[in-house]
Structure 1
Amino acid sequence: MRKVEVVKYNPEWNQKFEEEAGKLSRLFEEELVAIHHIGSTSVEGLAAKPIIDMMPVVRDIERVDDYTERMEALGYRGLGEYGIPKRRYFRKGEEERTVHVHVFEEGNPDVIRHLAFRDYLRAYPDVRDAYGELKLQLAAQHPEDMEGYIQGKHDWVIETERLATKWYKENQDV
């Protein structure tokens, strides 16, 4: 069972994202529309599990399957949709995970959901700090229980995603 580790924000996470983004940009080339740093490591000041979440946005999600072997050569394990339709999920590191890659096709509503959540936490430090405290508290309560940790923050995340998506659509050219 994986240990739940939540640590204070580390500014090196942005550099790690940039390094991996460069590799993935070269790999996906013309299929890639954009690549975003998402998740808690993308929000300055937010406590997080030290795993970089990346979201490449591609032209055709079905074509991503053609890249699985090359992703594996970079140290990623391809897990297909992994519970989210129209996504391709890859992770780097089995015992000690370092990067999660969530690939979506351009126009998929999950792209907006991820960007909205990230940008909302960046725009509202009080919400960011409340989320960080919740995560630290849950990690202390569930140090050996990743599922308990995830379930503990589920309702908070769902409600904040709802608010963030509404805010994002009102404030962006979506």
Structure 2
Amino acid sequence: MPDSHSSDSHEVNAPVHIEPHDADWAERFAEEASVINETIGAWITGGVHHVGSTAVPGLAAKPVIDIMVGVADLESSRPCIELLKPLSYCYWPYRAEVMHWFCKPRPSHRTHHLHLVPTGSPRYLNVLAFRDYLRTHPDARADYEALKRDLAGRYPNDREAYTEGKTDLIGKLTEEARAWARTRDMKISKPGSTT
């Protein structure tokens, strides 16, 4: 469902469409985070985070709110799959070894993506570092936006190609982000330092 083209699927993936940043995206996240907290709060160990491009002020994005929730582990959080159904979250076993992935309300019209990810796992740390790096590094943000616009123009009806086309740059920026995050965390942990 995220990027697949299953022949037996009745749903067609929504086209890739990039829009200028919208300040309302943060409000849409906050509203959804509140409902998610109420619904699966007992399983949340690492917070509810606005991630992805809609979480980066000034960055153009697909108008889909990406949300990452930190959970203890994938096995113990499986009950959340059923609990989230009444909120119109459709579960799909995409990258099931690292997260529980959902879209809302359906693949052909997505307003939200939800990722339940073990707190402190490499994916959890990478996603947060990547978001924070783009928020604070305008050159990286510009490079990422230029690539996304190019790929959306070339592959409007092929989410798999669009996603694959971002892989190398995301990998490079994530490495830079993790190194930056380690430096930032060391400065924060030093007595008397300010940020």
Partner of 1:59: 72
CA distance in 2: counterparts of 1:86 and 1:120, whole angstroms: 22
Normalized per residue, the structure richer in helix is: 1
CA distance in 2: counterparts of 1:106 and 1:138, whole angstroms: 31
CA distance in 2: counterparts of 1:44 and 1:166, whole angstroms: 22
The offset of 1:8, in angstroms, is 0.7
Q: Where does structure 2 lack aligned partners over 5 or more consecutive residues?
A: 1-11, 190-195
| SS class of match (1:126) | helix
Equivalent runs, 1:11-160 vs 2, <5 Å: 11-33=23-45, 34-80=47-93, 82-94=94-106, 95-160=108-173
CA contact (8 A) 1:57 1:105 kept: yes
TM-score (norm 2): 0.83
CA distance in 1: counterparts of 2:75 and 2:120, whole angstroms: 14
Task: Look at both structures and tell me which one has the larger radius of gyration over its CA atoms.
Answer: 2
CA distance in 2: counterparts of 1:15 and 1:158, whole angstroms: 29
Residues 64-116 of structure 1: CA distance to partner in whole angstroms, max 9, x if unpaired? 21122220111001124x12413111111221111111111222111110000
CA distance in 1: counterparts of 2:89 and 2:146, whole angstroms: 31
CA contact (8 A) 2:98 2:123 kept: no
Query: Segments of 4+ in structure 1 off by > 2 A?
Result: none
C-alpha root-mean-square deviation of aligned residues, in Å?
1.6
Residues 108-148 of structure 1: CA distance to partner in whole angstroms, max 9, x if unpaired? 11111000000000110111112111111211122222222
Letter paired with 2:89: Y
Partner of 2:16: 4
Task: Give the stretch that moved more between structures: 44-53 or 131-140.
Answer: 131-140
Aligned pair partner of 1:170 in 172, 177, 183: 183
Aligned residues: 173
Q: Where does structure 1 lack aligned partners over 5 or more consecutive residues?
A: none
TM-score (norm 1): 0.92
Letter paired with 1:14: A
Letter paired with 1:150: T
